[in-house]
Amino acid sequence: MLLGLGGLYGAANLISDQQAFAAPIQPPEFKVCGEAHDVETGDPLDVNCCPPVTDKIIDYKLPPVTKLRVRPPAHKVTKEYLAKYEEAMRRMRALDKDDPTDPRGFMQQANIHCAYCNGAHDQVGFKDLDLQVHECWLFFPFHRWYLYFYERILGKLIDDPNFTLPFWNWDNPKGMRMPKIFDNETSPLYDANRNQSNRPPAIIDLGLTGITDDVQKVVNNLTIMHSEMIRSVNSTIDFMGQPYKAGSLPRPGMGTSERGSHTAVHVWVGDPRNDPYHEDMGNFYSTGRDPLFYCHHSNVDRMWSIWRTLKTDVPKDLNEPDFLNASFLFYDENKQLVRVKVADCIDHTKMGYDYEKVDTPWLKYKPTKKAAKAKIQNLASNAQSAEGLFPLTLKKITRVLIPKSAKGKADEVLVLENIEYDTKKFIKFDVFVNDEDDNADELDRAEYAGTFAQVPHKTKNKKGKSNITLRLTELYDDIDVADDDTVVVTLIPRSNGEHVSIGDIKITPSPPRSG
């Protein structure tokens, strides 16, 4: 046992509700790591995701910071930087052949994501209850620590302690293409398992609408970023993800960034030729095999760092001990197995790095206010009453008439409850309020409320369940609900709607904006 918690939790093996045990998630026990499996057939995957085992574990202490290392945008890196990055990657890949058990090797690093995210680890003390770092409040801190050690390993391999990873600046129009440094087929940064239709100069579609107009793609992307970072966020957990504690069922719910731009990039890059799972980036178990994954998640991490600086009325920090004391295991650049805590990664500058300053045009990219108020009577004539409609399998575009909690421009949220979906499928749907135009490909409109999406992954029960909350306060200002006491919510399935059902939908007064 890496941690002596088996006795403490042993009697609680059958506890599985969300607040089952007020204790933080503990690091997995590498000695009892199991096989990760194919999400469809249940067959073992073609690689062993389990990490090397050692009895020597130390509690990691962040080294003192004398000078911040600055992560650059991938589309702006210098030739000198690229040469270092490629050499570090060559050496990391070489470890796969020279010493496959070296935890710093490329496949060993890729398997970290597979092991933590595809059912190889059970929660400590809870047999057959997956340890899953996605779709919960551990999403940002786990990946921050993951990148931190990955970056330090690359630096160690080229004897450059100041080396930094680049970030894929997909939230800025100048970075909305797959970075060219990853598209050179002779480079160690290249991965053949990518969507060939989305190689440069294709512009990324963060909405995954399939729209072909490049200008519309860009404005959609900016609208999505503003929505998931500001407009639809009502509380700290709306952005960070739902609480996940010892004994909790995995995947209690994603934050806006995870289910939005994060998921879209994975799916957009994943290779559709690798049917049905779109390896590498299109599935959790294989995504770490693409060097672009780490560049993508560097920008995801940057989104967390930016969000914590935004001057909005939503608190930015979670102060619950069960969040701050959650912990993980990683191998560091010296092949030492270390235990790290969430609390030590909240401020990325204390970890010794920052991000190069670039424009963030989505900050003020609010949809244009509607020139005229929607005629709710006309909209209602094409909508169904929520009563008796749910649970709803989202096989087609559905319009639902929802009563508000108060008339006019109230401070309210839209709550979609008990969203149940097949975890082995890519799931996505969008949400609009009082949408008259019915132009589903254009997201830069006042009526766009938000999205739900998930990357396929393996779970033991193959079913995920989640709730999402979308803030409506700013949306109401933009569409002018006047004295209306109802709105029409439009649900637009983008992918595999037949594999997702929604238990209920309602509008409630905005809860207190606390962490």
Which three-class secondary structure state does DSSP give residue 422?
strand
Q: Supply the mean pLDDT for the chain.
A: 90
Amino acid at the residue 355: Y
Q: What is the pLDDT of residue 487?
A: 92
Asked if 114 contacts 39 with a C-beta cutoff of 8 angstroms, the reply is no
Residues with catalytic annotation?
113, 134, 143, 262, 266, 284, 297
Q: What is the pLDDT of residue 22?
A: 62
Give the tens place of pLDDT for each residue, 33-50: 887 765 455 666 666 889
Q: What is the pLDDT of residue 449?
A: 94
Question: Based on the number of CB atoms within 10 Å of its own CB, is 217 exposed (0-12), middle (13-18) or buried (19 or more)?
Answer: buried
DSSP string for 48-59 = --PPP--S-EEE
Spatial separation of the C-alpha atoms in residues 185 and 19, rounded to whole Å: 49
Spatial separation of the C-alpha atoms in residues 195 and 178, rounded to whole Å: 11
Q: What is the pLDDT of residue 201?
A: 97
Asked if 428 contacts 265 with a C-beta cutoff of 8 angstroms, the reply is no
Tell me the whole-structure pTM to 2 decimals.
0.89
Which three-class secondary structure state does DSSP give residue 10?
helix
- Please, what sign has the CA dihedral across residues 139, 140, 146, 150? positive
Structure tokens given for 508: 């409630």
Asked if 141 contacts 340 with a C-beta cutoff of 8 angstroms, the reply is no
> Which H, E and C letters describe 261-322, residue by residue?
HHHHHHHHHCCCCCCCCCCCCCCCCCHHHCCHHHHHHHHHHHHHHHHCCCCCCCCCCCCCHH
Q: What is the pLDDT of residue 69?
A: 97
pLDDT by residue for the chain (515 residues), tens digit each?
233 223 333 333 333 344 445 699 999 999 888 877 654 556 666 668 899 999 899 999 999 999 999 999 999 999 999 999 999 999 999 999 999 999 999 999 999 999 998 888 999 989 888 899 999 999 999 999 999 999 999 999 999 999 999 999 999 999 999 999 999 999 999 999 999 999 999 999 999 999 999 999 999 999 999 999 999 999 999 999 999 999 998 889 999 999 999 999 999 999 999 988 899 999 988 999 999 999 999 999 999 999 999 999 999 999 999 999 999 999 999 999 999 999 999 999 999 999 999 999 999 998 888 877 778 878 888 899 888 899 999 999 999 999 998 887 889 999 999 999 888 888 899 999 998 876 788 899 999 999 998 887 766 667 788 899 999 999 998 998 878 889 999 999 998 899 999 999 999 999 877 65
Pairing mode, strands 353-355 and 69-71: parallel
Q: Where are the beta strands (DSSP E) in 97-140?
A: 122-123, 126-130
Structure tokens given for 73: 């945008």
Q: Which of 223, 154, 262 shows the shortest CA–CA distance to 166?
A: 154
Asked if 448 contacts 430 with a C-beta cutoff of 8 angstroms, the reply is yes
> Which of the 8 DSSP states describes residue 95?
H
CA dihedral 203→260→248→138, nearest 10 degrees, is: 70
Amino acid at the residue 390: F
- Taking residue 498's Cβ as centre, other Cβ atoms within 10 Å add up to 12
Domain boundaries defined on the chain: 58-364, 376-509
Asked if 278 contacts 268 with a C-beta cutoff of 8 angstroms, the reply is no
Q: Which residues contact 55 (CB under 8 A, 6 or more apart)?
A: none
DSSP string for 21-88 = --SPPPPP-GGG----B-TTT-PBPSS--PPP--S-EEE--PPPPSS-EEEPBGGG--HHHHHHHHHH
Q: Which residues contact 262 (CB under 8 A, 6 or more apart)?
A: 300
* Topology annotation, domain 376-509: Jelly Rolls (2.60.120)
CATH no., domain 58-364: 1.10.1280.10
Asked if 503 contacts 391 with a C-beta cutoff of 8 angstroms, the reply is yes
Q: Which of 238, 260, 262 shows the shortest CA–CA distance to 451?
A: 260
